[in-house]
Amino acid sequence: MKFMRITGLGLALAMLAAGTGLAWQGKDNKKTLEALDALAKKGNGAADAKAAAADLELEAVMRAFKPRTKGGFGVGAKAGLVAANLDGIEAALPSLQKKGVAKSDEAKMAEPLTDLAHRVAAIAAVSDHKWPESKEASKSKKKWTELNDMMKEGAEALATAVKEKKWADVKKAAGKMNTSCSECHSVFRD
Ligand code: HEC
């Protein structure tokens, strides 16, 4: 009987811990998303980004790329604009690189893609200050800045392509951002 009670309690605690863990990984990225959005809306002046970066963790900032349901921004102001499996910046970029935007979606996607570009630029402005210090030559600050700049330039190119309605350039811009993600992760994310 005693054994049963302990097991029951253990199980309850394990479930509680798992539940808390899920909540933490999920919606609880609000503070970071709000800080990034404030920068995105302001056009992320360098000084603002530096101050914001001091209060933010790189992992939480990167989580902004995840699906809306996993602590990320998603694509568009509300869920439902794009298919659920593409409702995250990381999920949307490869499809954008490959297929671009369908002619029939251009009007509806212009504003959400501009917002997405500004959000990626804000993330890049923050991660500029988040080099994970390392003495390894391959993980230098210079390398970090170079790959982070690639992400920044991709975001700027996306905003310009949408503004100028050069829809073919959307693919190129998405490609540039995708390359920055994978190259930086292969060097700095073990
Ligand atoms: C300048 C380097 C750099 C660039 C560029 C970069 N990342 Fe990251 N990313 C990292 C590092 C380092 C981590 C690991 C952070 C940690 O766990 O502390 C990471 C982690 C992540 C994570 C996991 C976050 C979590 O919850 O653990 C996601 C998702 C992610 N990146 C998406 C992206 C996407 C999408 C792009 C491109 C649009 C991108 N990253 C560009 C360096 C970068």
Residues in contact with 27: Cβ distance below 8 Å, sequence separation at least 6, in sequence order: 71
Tens digit of each residue's pLDDT, the chain (190 residues):
455 555 655 555 555 555 555 545 455 799 999 999 999 999 867 889 999 999 999 999 999 999 999 999 999 999 999 999 999 999 999 999 999 999 999 999 999 999 999 999 999 999 999 999 999 999 999 999 999 999 999 999 999 999 999 999 999 999 999 999 999 999 999 7
**Cβ of 141 less than 6 Å from ligand 1:** no
Distance CA 111, CA 108 (A): 7
Distance CA 111, CA 25 (A): 28
Question: Looking at residue 47, what is its pLDDT?
Answer: 87
Q: How far, in Å, is the centroid of ligand 1 from the Cα of 184? A: 8
Q: How far, in Å, is the centroid of ligand 1 from the Cα of 99? A: 23
Question: Looking at residue 9, what is its pLDDT?
Answer: 58
